[in-house]
Amino acid sequence: MANKIDGKKISQEIKDELKAEVEQLRENGVVPCLAVIQVGADPASTVYVGNKKKACEYIGIRSLAYEIPEETTESELLALIDELNNNDEVNGILVQLPLPSHIDENKVIQAISPLKDVDGFSEKSVGAMTIGTNGYLPCTPAGIIQLLKRSGIEISGKNCVVVGRSNIVGKPAALLMLRENATVTICHSRTKDLKKICSEADILIVAIGKPEFITADHVKEGAVVIDVGIHRREGKKLCGDVKYDEVEPKAGYITPVPGGVGPMTIAMLMENCIKAVRK
């Protein structure tokens, strides 16, 4: 039976550490402030944005909510970002993704001031992460590193396989694991013999967005399995990209869905918001 990596508990520990830091800042008259923009009313985005606002409240970060209609034009959204870039009271800006299809997501991401890019998605943040200089780290991959470290799992020298190559999770997760001295392989939809490559991983990070795609055949006995996926299916419970019931008995450590990676993303966002104050 695998050790369950409790993301809820670890994220709570981090949030409590950050809460103490914000209390100190507030005593010195500094109140961190995060602007959260949601375009449209995608139900999953509404849940994520709600959780981000709740975490801000818990930690003592002021949050400004911009819930704007689906029909908002790209130039209206860019104008809002420009206004927030120039507002000295706002430390961090987050635009919840995905955006409606008439808006160019990359243009919007790159419009956020790199000093306020608490998602870590801007070219400057990605460049800094890649060469290992100081900058905002993307929240989900940074959360994965924290989950591993705070669970006492050695990363250095381990064989890590990342399944998925998105700009938000797969690619940066691979870079951060490399920074921690893992030997890293990135797999994707064109990878040949995925099962063989995955089953050589000491640490398997799965972010492909396909419900229960990874089965016991993909997993080495005793491996650490990190599941980034989250899928709402009608009439069924939430599930990840990993077939949990089948993989759990074979793994050494595993993250559950929900309660694994998800809460860590929010905890790391809060950390970036506090970092933003110091910028």
Active site residues: 52, 96, 119
Given a contact cutoff of 8 angstroms between Cβ atoms, the answer to whether 148 and 7 are in contact is no
Of 146-175, which residues contact ligand GUN (CB under 6 A)? Answer: 168
Pairing of strands 183-187, 159-163: parallel
**68 scored as a contact of ligand GUN (CB under 6 A):** no
Task: Pick the closer one to ligand GUN by CB: 32 or 172.
Answer: 172
Closest CA to 173 of 189, 191, 155: 155
| 15-20 contact pairs (CB < 8 A, 24+) | 15/55, 15/58, 15/59, 15/267, 15/270, 18/59, 18/267, 18/270, 18/271, 18/274, 19/58, 19/59, 19/60
| 231-236 contact pairs (CB < 8 A, 24+) | 232/44
**241 scored as a contact of ligand GUN (CB under 6 A):** no
Of 18, 22, 90, 94, which one interacts with ligand GUN (CB under 6 A)? Answer: 94
Q: How far is the CB of 139 from ligand GUN (least distance, A)?
A: 5
**272 scored as a contact of ligand GUN (CB under 6 A):** no
- Cβ count within 10 A of residue 50: 13
Q: How far apart are alpha carbons 120 and 129 in whole angstroms?
A: 9
**140 scored as a contact of ligand GUN (CB under 6 A):** yes
Stretch that binds ligand GUN, among 74-82, 91-99, 154-162, 210-218 (CB under 6 A): 91-99
Of 30, 65, 97, 238, which one interacts with ligand GUN (CB under 6 A)? Answer: 97
Task: Pick the closer one to ligand GUN by CB: 34 or 198.
Answer: 34
Task: Pick the closer one to ligand GUN by CB: 168 or 247.
Answer: 168
**65 scored as a contact of ligand GUN (CB under 6 A):** no
**125 scored as a contact of ligand GUN (CB under 6 A):** no
**122 scored as a contact of ligand GUN (CB under 6 A):** no
**119 scored as a contact of ligand GUN (CB under 6 A):** yes
Closest CA to 172 of 210, 120, 113: 120
Q: What six digits make up the tokens of 127?
A: 């460049």
Task: Pick the closer one to ligand GUN by CB: 59 or 139.
Answer: 139
For ligand GUN (CB under 6 A), the number of binding residues is 9
**257 scored as a contact of ligand GUN (CB under 6 A):** no
Task: Pick the closer one to ligand GUN by CB: 23 or 70.
Answer: 70
Burial class (CB in 10 A: 0-12, 13-18, 19+), 99: buried
Q: How far apart are alpha carbons 210 and 194 in whole angstroms?
A: 14
Stretch that binds ligand GUN, among 24-32, 95-103, 175-183, 231-239 (CB under 6 A): 95-103
Stretch that binds ligand GUN, among 66-74, 94-102, 178-186, 256-264 (CB under 6 A): 94-102
Q: How far is the CB of 40 from ligand GUN (least distance, A)?
A: 13
Q: What six digits make up the tokens of 27?
A: 């005593």
The residue ranges that bind ligand GUN (CB under 6 A) are 94-97, 119, 139-140, 168, 265
